[in-house]
Structure formats: C-alpha cells, structure tokens
Amino acid sequence: MRTFVNEDKFTPFKETIIGHDVWIGQNAVIMDGVNVGTGAVIASGAVVTKDVEPFAIMGGVPAKCIKYRFNKETASKILRDEWWLKSDEELEQNVDSLLNVSNNDTNC
C-alpha cells in the first residue's frame, strides 16, 4: 500500500460501547461512538445517534427516550449490585432478591 502522508488526519471509526443486559431490536442501527448504558432497550428499526442512559427505552428515527424501565433508586441499586459479574451459583442462591425489584416505569 502506498501513502503520501506521515500521519492520519481523521479517525476511521469511534468505539461503540454496549452495556450489560441491553436489548437491541431487529434492524436497529447504533452509530459509531455511541455508548449504550446497561439495561437499555433499543426498539426495532431505531437509529441511535446519541449516548443512551442506563435502563432507557429508546425508539424512533432518530431514537428518542420513550421512558425508563425503572425509577432512579432501583436503577442505582441494580448498577451498584453488578449482578452480571456474579457466578451462576451466587445468582441461584439470591434469585428471590434479584427478582424483587420495583418496576414502576418513569417518563423521560
């Protein structure tokens, strides 16, 4: 390959980061450099152009927040617990407390 410059003048792509337990619908598009927070839901066909907060439900073109899966207190507790790092045995032993979360959605 032949080049005529000493250094790149642009970044060919930006890293996109997808958090834990993210649901991405069919034909959704997530642009370069976007961070999708833990527990987020991206609707089918959505085009995500900006960072997504944890537990946000996003949809549309461009994607906008529809609502949140949990209230702020519950979301903070889930993020603090980091259940995705636990062993299968630990999850099995604590399944009742893991499933007992306040599930009242909140608007964006």
Q: Are strands 47-48 and 17-18 parallel, antiparallel or unpaired?
A: unpaired
Task: Give tens-digit pLDDT for 21-78.
Answer: 999 999 999 999 999 999 999 999 999 999 999 999 999 999 999 999 999 988 998 8
- Overall average pLDDT of the 97-108 stretch: 75
Strands 64-68 and 106-107: antiparallel
pLDDT given for residue 1 in this prediction = 64
Strands 106-107 and 41-42: unpaired
- Whether pLDDT at 105 is above 70: no
Q: Where are the domains of the chain?
A: 17-100
- In this prediction, residue 100 carries a pLDDT of 75
Decide: 36 and 18 in contact? Cβ < 8 Å. yes
Asked if the model's pLDDT at residue 96 lies above 70, the reply is yes
- The answer as to CATH 2.160.10.10 being correct for domain 17-100 is yes
Residues 5-40 as b or e (16 or more Cβ within 10 Å = b): eeeeeeeeeeeeebbeebebeeebebeeebbbbbbb
Phi, psi of 90 (to 5 degrees): -65, -40
